[in-house]
Structure 1
Amino acid sequence: MPTFKDKTVIVTGAASGFGQTTAHTFAEAGARVVVADIDADGAARVAKELERAVAVRTDVSDEQSVRAMVDTAVREFGGIDVLVNNAGVPHRSMPMLDLPVEDADRMWAVNVRSVFLCCKYAVPVMRERPDSSVVNVASIGALRPRPGMTVYNASKGAVLTLTRGLAAELAPNVRVNAVNPVVAETGFVQGAQGVDRIPDDVRAAMVAGIPMGRTATVQDVADSIRYLASPEAGFLTGVCLDVDGGRSIQ
């Protein structure tokens, strides 16, 4: 396993789902973790589960909140080595023309504005550390959009463009990559479906287009994030890694 001993990692949206498992995965590799989430209680719970971690309530769509998150990382741990922009929200699955404007605006603020803000304020600190990197969480839907999630998929397409453009701007000092997960059975997906538990027929339809025959697990995604942030991926920047069980080749 790649080591992150004495490295500091910020994970946004770390109170649940991909973010929670990613925080655990970096901690298990020796990192100090800033557990950032708008859910303060959830962030505190996750931080208590880790050996060296601090929780910070963060609204990633708000400039001052993001600056406070970065300041916390510097104050508590002396700097930032890895930034994982994981925080995101879906909209309910529906035709684009039926989507309320306020839902679209909120989703773009959390999914896209957040990446801009977090990088704007974290990267100047990260430039002081060798081998620092940003990993953004996009979606395979950015490349293979499906009906019902058009605006969400477009927001993740913007994340891919931000990833590639920023990778070119920051090389060779800071690497910038992204992961494109396929559907995973998390609260995020349940929110998009509007249910507490994904029905069997909906799950079967999700899996039907995935050659590996299952949805992604949170650990699949966390392991891919850890790899892209690791020294083993030291020559990779601008990479948008499909963590999709082969859905993108169907």
Structure 2
Amino acid sequence: MLLKIKRYHIDFDPPSALLEYEVPDDCLTLLEALNFIKSKKDASLTFSQGCRSGVCGSCAVRVNGKEELACEYRPKDGDIVEALNYMPIIRDLCVDFSKGIDSLKRAKAWLSEKSDTKVDEKGEKLIEKQSDCILCSSCWSSCPVFESKSEFLGPFALTRNWRYLVDARENHKKEKIEAVINNGIWDCTLCGNCTEVCPQGIDPKSDIMMLQSKAVQFGYQNPNFASFGSFGLDF
């Protein structure tokens, strides 16, 4: 089985190249194939891995243009493997996640203060799915908004904001909404790429739509709708 891997390092000349590697046909996962290459073919190949069971999210890469967890993806002959989009590449398939982590801070994706409020079973159901986020950044990599707006908060920061906004223990809900107005909910194109690639089955598109609805309840307006008036259309 032949795999094509996009190698990258600033010291390379040129810095990026698509290299081909033969791996055994019985490799059950892409991560297994990458480890075979590193141990048997090319020790300089660099990639991230952790739990090897789809829990930590550290092995996320793009395969044939789609985000996948290397520990869960079954490789096929001719697959093209490359690093995630919109994040600085450290080397080969290993990227710097710091910008994504910073977006969580900007989105205030946490409980604002300690609360004695109890979360009942219904409340748990409201935040259960979003709490499964493993921060693999697959949704971030798939988002077309970053092509034109690098300061966009990104899908996982927004869906995590929603998770805490609807938490019964959160007493500063308006503060949560205010954190995602700029470079956030109104910039999302609702294309659904993030939902499609999430390995945990989370639906960021739906969560962002809910945030938009909640923002309207707090008196905020989608600036894109407001701009329609400038055309002077009269129906």
**Range class of TM-score, shorter chain:** under 0.3
* Structure with larger RCO (C-alpha < 8 A, sep 6+): 1
User: Which is higher, the Rg of structure 1 or of structure 2?
Assistant: 2
More helix by share: 1
TM-score (norm: length of structure 1): 0.22
TM-score (norm: length of structure 2): 0.23
